[in-house]
Structure 1
Amino acid sequence: MLPPALALASLLLTCGCGSGGSEAPAATESTAAQPQAATEQTQATDTANAAPVKPRGRNEVWTDDNGQKWFGNVPMDAFFDQPYEVASNTTATGSAPAADSQPAGEMPAEAVAATTPTAEPAAPTPDTPSTPSTPETPPTTAAADSWDQLIPLTDLDEEIKSIRNFMQETVSSVGNYNSSMTMIPPKVATLAALAEVARKQQESVSWKDDAAYVRNLAKKMNESPLQRGPKDHKRLQELFEGVSDILNRSKPAGLEEPPAEDSFAESAEMRSLMKRMEDAEKTLKTEIGSADALGSRKAMALHEAAILSVLAKIVTEPGYGYGDDAEFKGYGTSIVEAGQSIRAAAEAGDFAGFETAMSKVATTCQNCHSKYKND
């Protein structure tokens, strides 16, 4: 049996060299052409110079006198050492590495850059004047006659505490109640009115969520004329204890739900509020008679002026019967402004300004009373 290499060679010779066979692959002819030509030349020379050569078989392996091995008439060096590996190798020959390849029709990046015309820089455009920014709108402040401006939270809280202390002393006994009975209506009317103001203010007292209960309890204290004796004393005492508990942040259980909305007129009688305004004017007039007194009693002046202004605004609110009366509302506005002027004078230590504002209060009250006091 022939070795595999010789068997493959025999097959190649059979397919490519026999008459009438198909053409051998171009690669095989190219590979064997040069050695075969050299061999034929050598054979011709040897034939001319040597003795006749013994005929060799087609598949015979033999060695000539020069040591050259042959397979039939084909020298052995025409065959590959590992024919099976060569036959199974499908790598294309003569191809350049992929990294060096350049697609047909494309130019290297450097060439493209060199041939691409450089764009001329755009002509500078004239500076466009910038649109001035819109100035920020300053935060809105409360109106001059808003509840927060008319009576600051500290003054409202101070007035409530003053009324509370007065009522606590008054209802402590029947005797105290009887002796202070006429002073109660202006106090509790002011309490009811300021409780409603507390609900409307932007600033918050600690009891703001329950201010409607305070307003309603104070309203009940004045719902009928007070009578001397233990009966009204006890009724007033029970109502005040509810107010006191609420101010202490301990609202009693079972309290009657107050109306969701109750006007000032439904909670506080105008006559009682006017009495508190009158007391404020008298206090300012009697307690502050000089620049020194204005300086030493500044806090009191600020407080009484705030009470004067806020109550003057309240009595011009709808429900009191003068909502459409421009003259009455004008008097009320004049008192509001005078009260604010008193506060400004007290802050600045301006006694002359204080006296001017007090004169305005007196004149306005006199003119108003001359027309409306008996209504």
Structure 2
Amino acid sequence: MAKARLRATPPGPTWDKASQASFFDDAFLTLTGDRPDFGSVSAPTRAEATDSPPSESAPAGGFRWSSLVSPDTLVDEIKDTKGLVAAAVASPSDFKGGGYDKAREGFSSVALAFGVIAAHDGDVRWKKDAVTARDLFARVGFNCKVGTDQSFSESRARVADLETLLDGSPLKTQAEREDDFLWSQVAARPALMSRLEVADEFLGGAIASKSDFTKQVEKVLHEIEMVAVISEVIQQKDFEYHDDDGYRAYAAAMRDAAVKAREGATKGDYDGVRASVGAIKKSCDSCHADYRS
């Protein structure tokens, strides 16, 4: 037999004046509006309960970078580029003799990767340092348009910063930013076009046969994802031709083809990847015919 629930003894009928003044004599005569139905109100979800402003790691537009690129590809892009930029700044003579152009392309790729890491919706290495790294490497990438003593010194400093991050230590260098962030500030369009050409050359060889594709499928996936990233970035506000419908159509078609190629690569679908890479090249060639840098 269930035990009877014990209830607290109600207070006595006599109230002092201070306590009585805290209540209405008749609440139904004083309050207005319909009586709320608390039973119909659902509990807020965790996302609804959070009232923090969007950060650079969760862009206001809500774009999910994970639909284009994995954390591993972004990290590997940075690691793989370190050797290129280090060789380009090995000596002042190498740098001024043409290495500055290789450094420009390499630093721009690193800046792009850090930019996407900062905005990525997944858990990616270096995310805490990504905004600072993005701005530092973007600046040196733009400054490497020419080979001067100043751009050489800055490049050597950035290589040291890159080694610091790769060794697992946080950045000590601080970036200066006065304006709001724009993707066009990460890398110049010609540098990104150069990165696309690298991807195009590799993919063309990697899909020459099914055996070549199978041997290099991980690298194929890496290059496809970088194509998808660049195709999305060059459509962003303030990029050259970003407001040109024809240019945006080419870029969107290339991105969509890269997404299909990505899906095929993850499944080992050689025929699907080959067809999608062909569509990427078609969009790229058509765009170059009209908007060659």
- Is TM > 0.5 for Structure 1 vs Structure 2? yes
- Return the offset for 1:212: 1.4
- Does the Cα contact within 8 Å between 1:242 and 1:251 map onto a contact in 2? no
What residue in structure 2 maps to residue 196 of structure 1? Answer: 115
What residue in structure 1 maps to residue 66 of structure 2? Answer: 148
- Does the Cα contact within 8 Å between 2:214 and 2:268 map onto a contact in 1? yes
Q: Deviations for 1:113-142, whole angstroms, at most 9, x for unmatched residues?
A: xxxxxxxxxxxxxxxxxxxxxxxxxxxxxx
- Does the Cα contact within 8 Å between 2:261 and 2:272 map onto a contact in 1? yes
What residue in structure 2 maps to residue 159 of structure 1? Answer: 77
Paired amino acid for 2:216: R
What residue in structure 1 maps to residue 255 of structure 2? Answer: 336
* Secondary structure at the counterpart of residue 223 of structure 1: helix
Alignment of 1:168-187 (within 5 A): 168-177=86-95, 178=97, 180-187=99-106
- Return the offset for 1:284: 0.5
What residue in structure 1 maps to residue 197 of structure 2? Answer: 278
Q: Deviations for 1:150-179, whole angstroms, at most 9, x for unmatched residues?
A: 110011111011112322333233354345
* Secondary structure at the counterpart of residue 124 of structure 2: coil
**1:243–1:217: structure 2 CA closer, same or farther, 3 Å change rule?**
farther
- Does the Cα contact within 8 Å between 1:192 and 1:219 map onto a contact in 2? yes
- Return the offset for 1:291: 0.7
- Does the Cα contact within 8 Å between 2:114 and 2:134 map onto a contact in 1? yes
* Secondary structure at the counterpart of residue 174 of structure 2: coil
Identify which of structures 1 and 2 has the higher relative contact order when contacts are C-alpha pairs closer than 8 Å and 6+ apart: 2
Deviates more, 1:181-190 or 1:328-337: 181-190
What residue in structure 2 maps to residue 318 of structure 1? Answer: 237
2 CA distance for matches of 1:254 and 1:371? 41
2 CA distance for matches of 1:170 and 1:262? 28
* Secondary structure at the counterpart of residue 143 of structure 2: coil
Please, what is the CA RMSD of the aligned residues? 2.4
Unaligned ranges ≥5, structure 2: 1-60
- Does the Cα contact within 8 Å between 1:294 and 1:346 map onto a contact in 2? no
Identity of aligned residues (%): 20
What residue in structure 2 maps to residue 208 of structure 1? Answer: 127
1 CA distance for matches of 2:260 and 2:188? 27
* Secondary structure at the counterpart of residue 204 of structure 1: coil
- Return the offset for 1:227: 4.0
Q: What is the aligned residue count?
A: 231
What residue in structure 2 maps to residue 357 of structure 1? Answer: 276
Q: Deviations for 1:287-325, whole angstroms, at most 9, x for unmatched residues?
A: 331011111111011000001111110000111143333
**1:373–1:364: structure 2 CA closer, same or farther, 3 Å change rule?**
same
1:262 aligns with 2:175: no
1 CA distance for matches of 2:190 and 2:98? 21
Q: Deviations for 1:60-119, whole angstroms, at most 9, x for unmatched residues?
A: xxxxxxxxxxxxxxxxxxxxxxxxxxxxxxxxxxxxxxxxxxxxxxxxxxxxxxxxxxxx
Paired amino acid for 2:82: R
* Secondary structure at the counterpart of residue 159 of structure 1: helix
- Residue 345 of structure 1, aligned match among 264, 271, 276: 264
What residue in structure 2 maps to residue 12 of structure 1? Answer: none
Higher gyration radius (CA): 1
1 CA distance for matches of 2:108 and 2:138? 7
* Secondary structure at the counterpart of residue 110 of structure 2: helix
* Secondary structure at the counterpart of residue 123 of structure 2: coil
TM-score norm. by structure 2 comes to 0.71
2 CA distance for matches of 1:303 and 1:256? 29
2 CA distance for matches of 1:308 and 1:245? 28
- Does the Cα contact within 8 Å between 2:66 and 2:120 map onto a contact in 1? yes
* Secondary structure at the counterpart of residue 317 of structure 1: coil
- Return the offset for 1:249: 4.3
Deviates more, 1:259-268 or 1:324-333: 259-268
Paired amino acid for 2:139: K
